[in-house]
Amino acid sequence: MSLLDASALPRMLRVRQDFPKSEPLEIPAGVAEQISLVRDRLKPGTRVALTVGSRGIANIKSIVLAVIDELKAAEVEPFIVPAMGSHGGATPEGQKRILADYGITEQTIGVPIEANMEAREVGRTSDSIPAFTSSAALSADGIVVLNRVKPHTDYFSHTIGSGLVKMMVVGMGKHDGAANFHRTAVHHGYEETLKMLGRVVLDNVPILFGIGLVENQYHETV
């Protein structure tokens, strides 16, 4: 055992990093502009599910309201599906409570929230791994996937992080989908599992389009 020579340590410097502020964002106008690009996929009179997750997204209530307004303007019948895997204790009441903490309720948004936890197998990968999707979402004529796109917080860092594919595979899968994803990822890796199961969902579930949200270093919508 030897003493550490303090002179061998690098000099320590205090460093501060300043990020430029983003331009203010007009959320309703931004949502309207993007949905206009895919508006022809919204057929009047159809029921459309909108996924809403549990990750503390900035301005989530305002964004959900803006999306719902655009869906109503397209003359579809929107409703919200909590898409958060097994969060909220894997119960309908717990998942609705999480949304309520973000100000999202049937009263504040003006559409039903269908929070039942039932999920159905919608297909399998080439090596017979099942993919699951919320039964409430499957009851719709089409699904709009809404989520923030960012590097994953804990598990991995590759070309796919935490975004629309993860929402489809894990969030929309409810407890069954979340458990299946994590069980499979132990053997195949997180990114490969997202890609495999995401393809099954895209091939077998009526996804209309996705809305990807991006935040800056200050956790502001940009």
The pLDDT of residue 162 is: 83
Tell me whether residue 77 is exposed, middle or buried, using C-beta atoms within 10 angstroms of its C-beta: 0 to 12, 13 to 18, 19 or more: middle
Whether 55 and 87 have beta carbons less than 8 Å apart is answered as no
The pLDDT of residue 7 is: 72
Count CB atoms within 10 A of the CB of residue 163.
Answer: 20
- Rounded Cα gap, residues 125 and 135, in angstroms: 20
51 beta partners: 81
Q: Which residues contact 132 (CB under 8 A, 6 or more apart)?
A: 119, 120, 121, 122, 173, 174, 176, 177, 180
Write down the pTM of the prediction.
Answer: 0.89
- 189-221 tens-digit pLDDT: 888 999 999 999 999 999 999 999 999 999 999
Q: Judge whether residue 2 has pLDDT over 80.
A: no
- Rounded Cα gap, residues 219 and 215, in angstroms: 5
